[in-house]
Chain A
Amino acid sequence: MRTHRIAVAATLVVAFTAACSRSSDPGNKSTAGESSSKPAPKTLTYWASNQGTSLDNDKQILEPELKKFEQQTGIAIHLEVVPWSDLLNRILAATASGQGPDVLNIGNTWSASLQSTGAFLPFDDATMEKIGGKDRFMAAPLAATGAEGKPPTAVPLYSMAYGLYYNKKLFQQAGIANPPATWDELVADGKKLTANGKYGLAIEGGNVSENVHHAFALAKQHGADFFDASGKPTFDSPGAVAAIKQYVDFIAQDKIAAPGNAEYAANQSVTDFASGKAAMLMWQVAGVKLTTHGMSPDDIGVAPIPIQAGASGSKATATMVAGINIAVFKNTKNLDGALQFVKFMTSKEESIALNKTYGSISPLKEAQDDPAFNTPELKTISGVLATRAAPLPQVPNESQFETLVGTAVKNLLAAAAAGKPTTTESVKAELVKAQQQMPAS
């Protein structure tokens, strides 16, 4: 009796898992030819990332544009705005189940990681032609769309880069005429500006991604990369150690950033800068955010992120390439419609309109002259993006790198804020630990 029962249960499990694995078999077998013989569905699902001040704000901005697309093509877009905290998990779930949207936004730093899942349509030259060719895009944003030598896994949609935001009024009061161009100048200015409870610089020390973005650009300036040519992690190279020490020293040694910054993870540094508690901030296109926090546009100055004195070439890297890419899910039942939609979203007119609204920069070459991007802020940002930006490592393990190195910097900042000494050895030890946790591949 008992064995009988177990046998029944076991059979059920086997039957069920077999059925599962069969139905979840990814759509390799259903080729594009097969799916196009059926009439393509007249709707597409689009997952948009949260670019506006709220999810509703995004809906209000995007829906009129999507209506235009429907009028042009007859394809209705079902829009879902996904908050950043959920987006990656949702994409992973969609990838694992094969049930996802047709078109979606991804953070461009995830490009190579997501590319390695094989869940997205590669934009090879033929596919690129269908959306107007890859020559329309600026080089830097296009470099952040997947591993080198492979067809891009997505195309650039909104572009951003880091700039040094400074409070003109506070600079004037401190008798500083120009924004700093080198780190020595930044530290010197920062010390002048640090007084009476105000600080020279605000940093977002509890935010793992912010930490890793700054660590990356600074490492480039020290001639270091976090991965070697073969894709092996090199987190603890002398250049990387020096770069991260320099960043941590803003709190530890230079004392131009408030110790409290070490726990900031909810954009408090933006608030501090907007309210005049700090005189400088390194941020991606912060203009719109700062004015919504009530900062007068006249007080906001923007300069490129400083470099070491006399640096050139890749040592003059001022920023990582930040931005959002648009990708097509391979399992889409309406490939042509999805590509039409990507073409629409990256058309000159839409690109200008949407980037202008969001305060970001269009990744299209032909859009750069548009007056929308000719404000002093965006001119500076698009200038560094065009000439002095490098994409984060386009390796499949990028996501682990961000987590581990970003956390290492967070720990170092926390130690510095608690008054523990920051030395080359302590930085190196933390980075060695991070590197050892990288999966052997």
Chain B
Amino acid sequence: MKPRYRLLPYLLLLPALVMELLIHIVPMAVGIIMSFKQLTQFFIRDWTAAPWTALNNYRIAVDFSAPIGQSLLNSFWVTCSFTLFAVAFSWLLGVAAAIFMQEPFWGRGVLRAVFLVPYALPVYAAVITWSFMFQRDTGLLNHVLHDQLHLVAEKPFWLIGDNSFIALVVVSVWKTWPFAFLTVMAGLQNVPRELYEAAAMDGATVWQQIREITMPALRPVNQVLVLVLFLWTFNDFNTPYILFGKSAPEAADLISIHIYQSSFVTWNFGSGSAMSVLLLLFLLVVTGIYLVVTARWRDADA
């Protein structure tokens, strides 16, 4: 091969490479560098002048016996359990609705469209509406629970205190499940109808059909779907921010809000960056393990 031609692929790749660097790698690198600096408001004007602090930002973040580390750890556990509930319910709802919608029936198109509404609504408008519904004295939810159904003796708070966790999960599931629904619905198109017919002939119940035909066929779709749902939910910033504002209640103090508070609101960008890097590492590890494990399962199946 002549040298000229050996260079050409690189030249062709160069624009993409430059863009990739500009958009992804450089900001990430800058963030990682920032996490080793004591970057407070004294230095944001010329952050190269901020003093290096080696691992100090990290040490403070993971010192779980001190309040900053403690609250980060609390926020981490809150985020983990939030993600678990939100992803599980979103996935369950999405799959159930998609399977239900598989058989043609009158009004199916309309219902499918309606199901996608939460996904299509602007996040801000949707979540602010939820926050109105969650208000203690004037909200719709307490009106139904307390005034009409008399299920609770006293009106509970939803936006402050421990119930805020439930509120957060509800809004998150409402917002995310249409995506699961959409993805699973697309995945179901690839399952041959004959399989169901054959199974029905052999006397398989609906439940058995779902377990033995639908679920295995959906496995590759589910693998990606659950991963994406996990990453989105774990990192979700909009929902808690719109619902609770800058300072979320402890029970709903998601890690994204927590990091925002420790960097933007309190002007300590070094500390915020260190927490972000830790979060990135955690998500990388979880994603890696998940991909390896699910790949093994698939290999084992094959």
Query: Which B residues lie within 8 Å of A17 (CB)?
Result: 26, 29-30
Report the Cα distance A417→B156, complex, angstroms: 10
Assess whether B45 is in contact with A98, with CB atoms less than 8 Å apart: yes
Known contacts A206-B159, A396-B41, A411 near B250 by CB under 8 Å:
yes
Q: Which residue of A lies closest to B248 (CB)?
A: A407
CB-contact partner of A437 in B29, B41, B67, B135, under 8 A = B67
CB under 8 Å from chain B, chain A span 76-126: 89, 92, 95-96, 98, 113-114, 116-119
Known contacts A26-B46, A89-B264, A260 near B67 by CB under 8 Å:
no
Interface residues on A, range: 35 or more
- A6-29: CB near B (< 8 Å → 1, else 0) gives 001100110011001100111000
Query: Which B residues lie within 8 Å of A9 (CB)?
Result: 17, 21
Query: Which B residues lie within 8 Å of A396 (CB)?
Result: 41-42
Report the Cα distance A265→B41, complex, angstroms: 27
Query: Which A residues lie within 8 Å of B137 (CB)?
Result: 258, 260
B168 → chain A closest CB, angstroms: 14
Report the Cα distance A259→B21, complex, angstroms: 52
CB-contact partner of A116 in B22, B41, B250, under 8 A = B41
CB-contact partner of B247 in A260, A407, A418, under 8 A = A407
Q: Does B265 contact A (CB under 8 A)?
A: yes
A432 → chain B closest CB, angstroms: 9
B177 → chain A closest CB, angstroms: 27
CB-contact partner of A410 in B48, B136, B247, under 8 A = B247
A305 → chain B closest CB, angstroms: 24
- A386-420: CB near B (< 8 Å → 1, else 0) gives 00000000001001100110110011001101100
B123 → chain A closest CB, angstroms: 15
Query: Which B residues lie within 8 Å of A433 (CB)?
Result: 67
CB-contact partner of A92 in B10, B25, B42, B264, under 8 A = B264
Assess whether B157 is in contact with A117, with CB atoms less than 8 Å apart: no
Interchain pairs with CB closer than 8 A, number: 108
Assess whether B136 is in contact with A263, with CB atoms less than 8 Å apart: yes
Query: Which A residues lie within 8 Å of B249 (CB)?
Result: 411, 414
CB under 8 Å from chain A, chain B span 225-279: 245-247, 249-250, 261, 264-268, 271
Q: Which residue of A lies closest to B6 (CB)?
A: A1
Query: Which B residues lie within 8 Å of A414 (CB)?
Result: 157, 160-161, 249
Q: Does B209 contact A (CB under 8 A)?
A: no
Assess whether A92 is in contact with B21, with CB atoms less than 8 Å apart: no
Q: Does A322 contact B (CB under 8 A)?
A: no
Assess whether B41 is in contact with A113, with CB atoms less than 8 Å apart: yes
- A314-335: CB near B (< 8 Å → 1, else 0) gives 0000000000000000000000
Known contacts A16-B21, A265-B245, A96 near B157 by CB under 8 Å:
no
For the residues of A in contact with B, the DSSP-based class is helix
Query: Which B residues lie within 8 Å of A206 (CB)?
Result: 159-160, 245
B41 → chain A closest CB, angstroms: 5
Report the Cα distance A260→B155, complex, angstroms: 9
Query: Which A residues lie within 8 Å of B246 (CB)?
Result: 208, 403
Q: Does A262 contact B (CB under 8 A)?
A: yes
Report the Cα distance A20→B47, complex, angstroms: 12
Q: Does B144 contact A (CB under 8 A)?
A: no
Assess whether B18 is in contact with A12, with CB atoms less than 8 Å apart: yes
Assess whether A260 is in contact with B136, with CB atoms less than 8 Å apart: yes
CB-contact partner of A418 in B29, B40, B161, B266, under 8 A = B161
Report the Cα distance A190→B249, complex, angstroms: 29
Q: Does A439 contact B (CB under 8 A)?
A: yes
Q: Does B152 contact A (CB under 8 A)?
A: no
Query: Which B residues lie within 8 Å of A25 (CB)?
Result: 46
Assess whether B264 is in contact with A439, with CB atoms less than 8 Å apart: no
Query: Which A residues lie within 8 Å of B186 (CB)?
Result: none
CB under 8 Å from chain A, chain B span 42-71: 42, 44-48, 66-68, 71
Q: Does A73 contact B (CB under 8 A)?
A: no
Assess whether B67 is in contact with A436, with CB atoms less than 8 Å apart: yes
| Given A258-B137, A396-B42, A403-B265, 19 other A-B residues pairs in contact with their CB atoms under 8 A | A12-B21, A13-B25, A16-B22, A92-B41, A92-B44, A95-B44, A96-B45, A98-B45, A114-B41, A117-B41, A119-B45, A260-B137, A262-B157, A403-B266, A410-B160, A410-B247, A417-B157, A437-B71, A439-B40
Identify the 6 closest CB pairs spanning chains A and B, nearest first: A414-B160, A436-B67, A260-B137, A407-B247, A400-B266, A260-B136
Chain B: residues with CB nearer than 8 A to chain A? 10, 17-18, 21-22, 25-26, 29-30, 40-42, 44-48, 66-68, 71, 135-137, 155, 157, 159-161, 245-247, 249-250, 261, 264-268, 271
A-B pairs with beta carbons under 8 Å apart, 24 shown: A9-B17, A9-B21, A12-B18, A17-B26, A17-B29, A26-B45, A89-B264, A95-B44, A96-B45, A114-B41, A118-B42, A118-B45, A206-B159, A260-B135, A262-B160, A263-B157, A414-B249, A415-B161, A417-B161, A433-B67, A436-B68, A437-B67, A437-B71, A439-B40
